[in-house]
Amino acid sequence: MPRINWKKHYPHSLRHALQLTKEYGKQRRLSVERIADQLGKSSDSLYKYLSDASMPVNQLIAFESVCGAPIVTQYLAHSQGYLLVPMPTGRKAEHLELSELNIFANEALIALARCYEGSAEVEQTRDRLMKLIEELAYQREEVNHQRQPDLGDLAMRNGEEVIR
């Protein structure tokens, strides 16, 4: 099975979001049986949740946590018109990461131009633009976070706080 580029993949239904979350977990070498075991459920009940899109809300965060991706949460936010931006970590972006963001931004703008010309799907263009805005908002928060040191960045030298 080819690896999915998760930055370009968008769920369009709750069932699809649950399936994508499971696929993400499988790419992390988790079997459905293993995921179900960590949720305290049988694999049959997990398959039922996935096929019916009827996973209880109190199991959703645990499911996403085990699989390693908040795809369902992101779908739910997007379906209500909200953007979802991860908390900044204070980590500086690497050049490769910024280059990939630049490529993605160009692809999104090309899709936007094609949408206005009538040669691209509205839904796909909207999804790309939402993902781009989220990625840019995340980078904005990382830049803001650079000015504010974490508690881990404080050290004591001769009784004075020193920022590392």
> Are residues 65 and 41 both part of a single domain?
yes
pLDDT tens over the chain, length 164 residues: 567 777 777 888 999 999 999 999 999 999 999 999 999 999 999 999 999 999 999 999 999 999 999 999 999 998 898 888 888 787 888 899 899 999 999 999 999 999 999 998 998 899 899 999 999 999 998 888 877 655 554 444 445 544 44
Q: Say yes or no: 74 and 22 in one domain.
A: yes
- Residue 46 and residue 111 share a domain: no
**pTM metric for this prediction:** 0.72
Same domain, 73 and 119: no
Domains held by the chain: number: 2
- The pLDDT of residue 164 is 42
Q: 54 lies in which domain range?
A: 6-79
DSSP character string of the chain: -PPP-GGG----SHHHHHHHHHHHHHHTT--HHHHHHHHTS-HHHHHHHHHHT---HHHHHHHHHHHT--HHHHHHHHHTT----PPP--PPPPHHHHHHHHHHHHHHHHHHHHHHHT-S-HHHHHHHHHHHHHHHHHHHHHHHHHHS--GGGEEEETTEEEE-
CA atoms within 13 A on the CB side of 45: 13
